[in-house]
Each structure stands twice: as structure tokens, then as C-alpha cells.
Amino acid sequence: MRALAHPARLEILDHLSLIKDGATATECAELVGLSPSATSYHLRALAKVGMIQEAPSRGDGRERVWQVSFRNYAVGAERDAGAEEIAAEAAIVEAFLARQNERVRRYQTKARAEKDEFFDVATMTEQTLMVTAAELKELLTKLDELIAPLKRRDREEPPEDSRAVSMQIRAIPIV
């Protein structure tokens, strides 16, 4: 979990999970705003914990191409986790929330420049539900089924006017 608790690593992992052919350190560096050598360090850290792996070379074999090692991942400590695991979980949750919130903030600064069709449907909402754990599980399963065919990585030929959209759903008991 600690390997993921860095904004650049989360951004790199997200990028690699969305592309099929992988990316080099130089390509990832442009994305995260770091030098290729600093980005290589983060790529090696992700590889060390099995989150990414080397991809087939695209040409003469001199460049190192990286790809994700998974289709999906979830992060969480076990109920009986020790202090170190709980601290690692807290760090990744903070990094993940900061990244989500930064996406919302970036959109908000440019929202008025959006095309009407996207401006009119972009939303942030909170609904307070009264559900059992089984009902919540069923709801989340149905949402996953609705979202699955629209996921960027799996969509072979998206419509010409489609855009990448961050869909953030949080379902937690109110304490």
C-alpha cells in the first residue's frame, strides 16, 4: 500500500491502466511533470510491488516500456491489521482522495469553458441512503454492471464526441 501512497505513482498507475500498449518513463514523466529519471524511480517502485511490469518493446529494444499487471485493484487493510498496515492504508486513502479532489478542482476552474452538453451533465451530488449491507452490495454490483461497457480501457471504438470522465462513487456508512 505504501508504494501507492504517492500522487505521481497513482497518476502513473492510472495512465498505464488506461492504455493498452504501455508507456515509457519519458512518456509518463510528461504526464506527471517529473524528470524521466525521477519517473523511472517511481516505475521501479511500482514494479517492485507487482503493480506494473515490463511490456514488450516497441522497436529496437532500447526503450523500457511498462504496463499494468492487473485489470482492477482494491486497497484495504484487514480488520485485524496492525498499526503499520493501518497507517499504510490511511496514507493511500489520503493520496487517493487528494487526487480525486484535485480532479474536481481542476474541472471547476474550467467548467464554464466546457461544451454545453458536458457542462449540463457534470455533477457532484450526495445522496443519503437507508440500506442494509446486502442492499448496498446489490446496488454497487448493478452500478458496476452499468459502468463496465463504458470503461475507457475496454471501449474499443468510443463515439467521436466522447470524453474521459472521472466517475467517483463513495459508499460509506455515516459515523
The domain limits of the chain are 2-68
- pLDDT reported for residue 92: 82
Q: pLDDT tens digits, residue range 130-141?
A: 999 999 999 999
- Mean pLDDT score of the chain: 88
CA–CA dist 167, 146 (Å, integer):
12
SS3 category, 50: coil
- pLDDT reported for residue 43: 95
CA–CA dist 141, 133 (Å, integer):
12
24 vs 19, 58, 64, 137, 169, CA distance in Å?
12, 10, 6, 38, 31
The answer to whether residues 29 and 64 touch, using CB atoms and an 8 Å cutoff, is no
CA–CA dist 133, 137 (Å, integer):
6
- Please check the confidence at residue 129 and state whether its pLDDT lies above 90: yes
SS3 category, 82: coil
CA torsion angle 117 150 26 42 (round to 10): 120
> What is the rounded average pLDDT of the residues 142-153?
90
The pTM for the full model equals 0.70
> What is the rounded average pLDDT of the residues 92-100?
85
Given 1.10.10.10, 3.40.50.1100, 3.40.190.10, 3.50.50.60, which CATH number is that of 2-68?
1.10.10.10
SS3 category, 12: helix
Q: pLDDT tens digits, residue range 12-65?
A: 988 898 887 899 999 999 989 999 999 999 999 999 988 899 998 877 667 899
